[in-house]
Amino acid sequence: MLKKIIGTILTAAALPAFAAEEIRQLPAPETTGGKPLMETIAARKTVREFGAGKITLQDLSNILYAAWGVSHDGKRTIPTARNLQKMNVYAVTDGSIWRYDGAANSLQKVGNAEDIMPALATQDFMVEAPLTLIFTGEPDERGYMAMHAGSAYQNVGLYCASRGLNNVVRGLIDYDKIAEVLGLQNEVVIISQTIGWPGQ
């Protein structure tokens, strides 16, 4: 019995600092309001300028819901080929790295932003940006996960256009370093998307 207890203690001590898995519950996403669809499509654009304003928890919840939330009957807010849902969305914001749980509408802390920012901040405008999403997924021969990530970042871009936020989809990142920091095993980094308020 004593050996079992000691073994448990040693195992716990060997786990990383975030083994406790800090969970942050997000407010329910707002599913009504916003600009009419056609106006939003017309307003959607890429902007590489960001102010220092923070993203509220409500906006963060709405953004992540648009990207990879669960809307009805266990289905995602984006279409998924063959209903493959082997994608993850990470949010780098407020000094931390979080993995989004769409079913629970919550965030799970997986690391510190300072560890991943050098791999993300390859362009000057990243200095002020308050939020970056990282899309990851299991590789497949038909590229389904890449298509799913594209649907997700398009939804986010439309939300940003409706809300007045700037955003840019970014491929100029250090994929290997990001995968290392996130501790990816069977997944790869697909793309990133940076979001923030217009600069003053």
What are the tens digits of pLDDT across the range 64-87? 999 999 998 889 999 888 878 889
Is the pLDDT reported for residue 8 higher than 70? no
User: Measuring CA to CA, which residue among 97, 77, 73 is closest to residue 29?
Assistant: 77
pLDDT over threshold 90, residue 163: yes
**Residue 41: pLDDT band with limits 50, 70, 90:** very high
Alpha-carbon distance 194 to 47, whole Å?
A: 10
pLDDT of 102 > 90? The answer is yes
For 25, residues 6+ apart whose C-beta sits below 8 A from its C-beta are 104, 105, 106
Mean predicted confidence (pLDDT) in 173-179: 96
10 Å Cβ neighbour count for 79?
Answer: 10
* Dihedral sign computed on CA atoms, order 150, 154, 157, 159: negative
Percent of the chain with pLDDT over 70: 89
Question: What is the residue whose two structure tokens read 């997700």?
Answer: 152
Element of type H or E holding 76: strand 75-76
Beta bridge partners of 192: 134, 170
Contact by Cβ (8 Å): 156, 66: yes
Nearest to 78 by CA among 161, 157, 148: 148
| pTM summary value | 0.87
pLDDT(127) > 60: yes
pLDDT, averaged across the chain: 88
Mean pLDDT of 19-33: 86
Range 144-153 average pLDDT: 94
